[in-house]
Structure 1
Amino acid sequence: MKIELINGVSRGTLEIIARKISDRTITDRILQNEFTAVGLCQGDIVSMLVASDIAEKTSDVVVSEISGVCPQHITCLGIFGDVTSVEASLAVIESRLNKK
């Protein structure tokens, strides 16, 4: 699994991400600059579902699948919130899922 943090997300990056999320409520929040950080997790669907659950239980974050085109059934999860909350979620995800 790949895990990355973008702190102080640029407007252009937020717009790219917003175009790849089907949930309009989350897209609107992204485009209103509601979030100061985004965590990105990429892996198989089972791991991303578990990562989503971990993130929401760990911190006050919003999670969404970021759609892409991948023939290997790999998906990307966006974790949105303030820097501290996103960092905390990513730390627990990495601890729980990257040790396997």
Structure 2
Amino acid sequence: MKTQLINGVSQGTLGIISRKVGDKKIVAQILQNEFTAVGLCQGDVVRMLVASDIAEKTSDVVVTEISGVCPQHIICLAILGDVTSVEAALKAIESRLMSK
């Protein structure tokens, strides 16, 4: 599993993410500049489902899958919110899933 934080995310990066997200409500939030940070998590489907649940239970964030093409059943999540909330979500995910 890999994680990364983008603090003060750029409009260009948000544009790329918005084109890779299937949920139109989340795309609208992205395009309205509602988020100042993005956490990215990449891993197998099971871990990413657990990571999504951990993130949403830990802090006030929006989690969505970033669509891509990967034959190894690897997916990427975008964890969207303010810096403090995204950092807390990533720390909780790393604490629970990276130790296993």
Length-normalised TM-score, structure 2: 0.99
For residues 40 and 31 of structure 2, what CA distance do their matches in structure 1 show?
Answer: 17
For residues 68 and 7 of structure 1, what CA distance do their matches in structure 2 show?
Answer: 23
Q: C-alpha root-mean-square deviation of aligned residues, in Å?
A: 0.3
Give the Å deviation of 1:24. 0.3
Aligned residues: 100
Sequence identity percentage = 77
User: Which letter does structure 1 place at the counterpart of 2:26?
Assistant: I
Deviations 1:4-53 (A, max 9, x none): 00000000000000000000000010011000000000000000000000
SS at the partner of 2:38?
strand
For residues 36 and 12 of structure 1, what CA distance do their matches in structure 2 show?
Answer: 13
What are structure 1's unaligned runs of at least 5 residues?
Answer: none
Length-normalised TM-score, structure 1: 0.99
The answer to whether structure 1 residue 94 and structure 2 residue 94 are counterparts is yes
For residues 37 and 90 of structure 1, what CA distance do their matches in structure 2 show?
Answer: 11
Aligned to 1:82: 82
